[in-house]
């Protein structure tokens, strides 16, 4: 295969961001086209290399072709989009009805998310299950936060009093748990990001707002005290804002699935996340400074974009397809 | 030329469904068929053809399948579905009405209404 047609296929694969089966099929189809066209050109008098080069040029811009395929294959049905937005809608309902403090309801919600995520994971990981998976990731993340507090508390005790306030085994277990839970989260996110890191960003969409919300209540030290008034705000007002924010997440998820364009998806996630944090800050008036919220919003975007680090699939697919192509060539 | 490109872009679906309503074809064969039938007037930027075919397949107007030709080359063929046939009929009827209206405006002396 000429270097031009090789580069063409490389560029298409890099821009596809689809699952390996789909990517391989597309590459096979384009390769068949290049070979057919090249054969005609060879018959017309060109050398094989010239013909392959010309055939790749005639196919057009690889970036546009990849974008076209991505748009077609990543755009989802309304049903798919609503299924993906459903966990956010349920969370919005939980807050709107002020039932998020009911352990049974929280357990049912997390249990449902877990069941859907596990079943989805085993059934080829349909993308609508990823937002559900996001809530499952919360469980290790929150408990990771608690374990971190225990370790931080211990470190503080050593620094100030020269002794550990808790028993040593608690710290060992906490540290082991932190390592294990982070490994699980990173493993899951990297797996989701393998084909398209934007899917992993969609998965972790609620995390920045929930982190802000959790920190807010942690600051107020009244997490489960429903009767308390907080800085002029009732729990009902706080919950209504949270409900609206979850509805924004649901709407963003639906738009994400319905729009096939990658740039639009990226912009949607980049705008939604800091907007939710700023909205919460404006309503909650939690005494956090504008600069701190700005830093939090920037960190949120960084967290959401971090799955891009795991986006390695194009190279893997490329290697496989090129190896396959070389083998075929050698047989001929 | 730009106008032709725009017209072609807007008519891609109709052209592809029309050609495939005759027989199943693979991508490169479609390009040659369209170019040949239009005496070279309609030349697709070949790469854009494939996303268009995949879109039609996703919308269930076409079905795609792999088949091996006599020379051993594996190719992806596209076949029009019943839904695609219905879509084509409706698009052609729309097209006829549209072109008739354009003709009546642009060349009223040649195309007088009944």
* Cross-chain CB nearest to A60 (options B47, B58, B74): B47
Q: What is the CATH number of domain B2-106?
A: 1.10.10.10
Answer yes or no: is pLDDT of A68 > 70. yes
Q: How confident is the model at residue B53 (pLDDT cuts 50, 70, 90)?
A: very high
Contact A32 B75 (CB under 8 A): yes
**pLDDT at site B112:** 63
Tokens of A297: 């919003």
- Are A84 and A253 contacting, i.e. CB atoms less than 8 angstroms apart? yes
CA pair distance A6, A49, nearest whole angstrom: 11
User: Is residue A291 predicted with pLDDT exceeding 60?
Assistant: yes
Name the one residue in this structure whose structure tokens are 């496989």.
Answer: A320
Distance from CA of B95 to the nearest CA of A (A): 25
Name the residue facing A65 among B28, B51, B75 (closest C-beta).
B51
| Identity of the residue in A29, A35, A61 whose CB atom sits nearest the CB atom of B50 | A29
Q: What is the pLDDT of residue A180?
A: 84
Sketch the domain layout of chain A as residue ranges.
3-71, 79-314
| Whether pLDDT at A331 is above 60 | no
How far does Cα A286 stand from its chain's mean position?
28
pLDDT (tens digit per residue) in A250-278: 999 999 999 988 899 999 999 998 888 88
B57: closest chain A residue by CA? A72
* DSSP E strands, chain A: none
User: What pLDDT is attached to residue A321?
Assistant: 55
If you average pLDDT over residues A297-308, what whole number do you get? 85
Predicted confidence (pLDDT) per residue in B57-90, tens digit? 999 999 999 998 777 888 999 999 999 999 999 9
Which pLDDT score is estimated for A313? 52
Tell me what pLDDT residue B40 has.
78
**Per-residue confidence (pLDDT) for residue A227, from 0 to 100:** 44
* Two tokens, residue A244: 């609206």
Q: Give the relative orientation of helices B2-20 and B27-37 as an angle to the nearest 10 degrees.
A: 110
Of A93-102, A154-163, A239-248, the one with minimum mean pLDDT is A154-163
User: Is the separation of the CB atoms in A37 and B28 below 8 Å?
Assistant: yes
Q: Per the CB < 8 Å rule, is B51 touching A25?
A: no
pLDDT (tens digit, 9 = 90+) per residue, A216-237? 776 665 544 544 454 555 677 7
Size of interface A-B (CB pairs under 8 A): 58
- Confidence bin at A132 (pLDDT 50/70/90): very high
Distance CA A331, CA B68 (A): 17
Q: Which residue of B has its CA nearest to A76?
A: B58
- Cβ of B28 and A36 within 8 Å? yes
Q: What is the C-alpha to C-alpha distance for residues A27 and A23, in angstroms, rounded to an integer?
A: 6
Q: Which of A315-324, B13-22, B25-34 is predicted with the least confidence, judged by mean pLDDT?
A: A315-324
- ipTM score: 0.85
Phi-psi category of residue B40: left, alpha or beta, with phi > 0 → left and psi -120 to 50 → alpha: left
Q: Can you point out the beta strands (E) in B2-108? A: 25-26, 62-68, 74-80
Q: CB-based contacts of A219: which residues, under 8 Å, 6+ apart?
A: A286, A287
Q: Which residue has the higher pLDDT, B20 or A225?
A: B20
Sheet holding B74-80, edge to edge: B25-26, B74-80, B62-68
B27: nearest CB among A29, A62, A64:
A29
Residue (of A256, A271, A306, A241) closest to A130 by Cα position: A256
Sort out which chain A residues have CB atoms less than 8 A from B47's CB and list them.
Answer: 30, 59-62, 64-65, 68
């Amino acid at each position: 295969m000429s270097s031009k047609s090789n580069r063409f296929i490389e560029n298409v694969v890099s821009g596809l961001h689809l699952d390996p089966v789909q990517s391989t099929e597309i590459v096979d189809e384009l390769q068949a086209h290049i070979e057919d066209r090249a054969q005609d050109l060879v018959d017309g008098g060109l050398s094989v290399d010239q013909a392959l080069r010309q055939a790749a040029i005639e196919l057009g811009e690889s970036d546009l072709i990849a974008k076209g395929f991505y748009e077609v294959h990543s755009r989802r049905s309304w049903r798919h989009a609503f299924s993906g937005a459903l966990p956010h809608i349920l969370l919005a309902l939980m807050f709107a009805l002020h039932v998020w403090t009911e352990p049974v309801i929280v357990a049912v919600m997390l249990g449902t998310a877990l069941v859907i995520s596990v079943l989805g994971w085993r059934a080829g990981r349909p993308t609508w299950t990823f937002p559900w998976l996001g809530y499952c990731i919360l469980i290790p993340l929150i408990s990771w936060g608690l374990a971190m507090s225990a370790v931080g508390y211990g470190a503080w005790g050593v620094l100030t009093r020269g002794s550990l306030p808790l028993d040593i085994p608690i710290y060992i277990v906490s540290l082991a748990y932190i390592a294990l839970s982070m490994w699980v989260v990173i493993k899951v996110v990297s797996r989701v990001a393998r084909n398209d890191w934007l899917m992993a960003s969609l998965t972790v969409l609620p995390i920045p707002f929930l982190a802000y919300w959790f920190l807010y209540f942690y600051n107020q030290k009244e997490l489960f005290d429903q009767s308390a008034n907080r800085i002029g705000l009732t729990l009902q007002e706080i919950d209504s804002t949270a409900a609206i924010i979850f509805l924004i997440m649901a709407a963003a998820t639906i738009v994400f699935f319905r729009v096939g364009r990658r740039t639009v998806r990226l912009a949607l996630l980049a705008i939604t996340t800091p907007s939710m944090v700023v909205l919460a800050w404006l309503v909650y008036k939690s005494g956090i400074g504008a600069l701190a919220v700005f830093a939090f919003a920037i960190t949120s975007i960084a967290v959401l974009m971090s799955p891009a680090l795991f986006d390695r699939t194009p190279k893997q697919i490329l290697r496989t397809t090129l190896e396959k192509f070389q083998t075929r060539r050698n047989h001929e | 030329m730009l106008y032709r490109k725009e017209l072609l872009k807007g008519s891609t679906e109709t052209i592809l469904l029309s050609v495939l309503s005759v027989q199943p074809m693979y991508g490169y064969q479609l390009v040659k068929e369209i170019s040949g039938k239009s005496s070279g007037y309609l030349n697709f930027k070949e790469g854009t053809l494939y996303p268009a075919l995949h879109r039609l397949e996703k919308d269930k107007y076409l079905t795609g399948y792999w088949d091996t030709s006599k020379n051993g080359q594996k190719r992806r063929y596209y076949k029009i579905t019943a839904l695609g046939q219905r879509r084509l009929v409706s698009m052609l009827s729309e097209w006829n009405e549209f072109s008739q209206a354009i003709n009546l405006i642009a060349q009223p002396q040649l195309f007088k209404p009944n």
